[in-house]
């Protein structure tokens, strides 16, 4: 039974690591929203938007490509006009 518990423990740790590799956890004050990553990485796993301008947030390629702009609009941090203006700066990256 002891070996079985070790396997369960390692499986749980592996699952937690996989979740950390697969999602950004964007912190909006008291709210935490998951954002699916486009590739497995530990970069920007936990990202707090407090005190950062929308332009600074969107200047981070990994977050922008994974759709943080849509999340900012959904959470009411950024409006549609600002979304369009800021995303136009990075339009060449999507083509």
Total structural domains in the chain?
A: 1
Beta-carbon contacts of 36 under 8 Å, excluding residues fewer than 6 positions away, are: 22, 23, 24, 66, 67
Range of the domain at 83: 2-94
Nearest to 69 by CA among 51, 91, 42, 41: 91
Mean pLDDT of the chain: 91
- pLDDT of 1 higher than 90: no
Strand partners, 34: 25
pTM above 0.85, yes or no: no
């Amino acid at each position: 039974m002891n070996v079985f518990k070790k396997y369960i423990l390692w499986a749980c740790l592996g699952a937690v690591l996989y979740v950390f590799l697969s999602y950004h956890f964007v912190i909006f004050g008291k709210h935490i929203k998951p954002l699916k990553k486009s590739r497995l990485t530990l970069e920007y796993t936990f990202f707090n938007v407090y005190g950062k301008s929308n332009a600074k947030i969107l200047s981070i390629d990994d977050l922008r490509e994974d759709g943080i702009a849509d999340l900012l609009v959904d959470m009411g941090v950024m409006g549609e006009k600002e979304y369009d203006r800021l995303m136009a700066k990075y339009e060449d990256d999507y083509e």
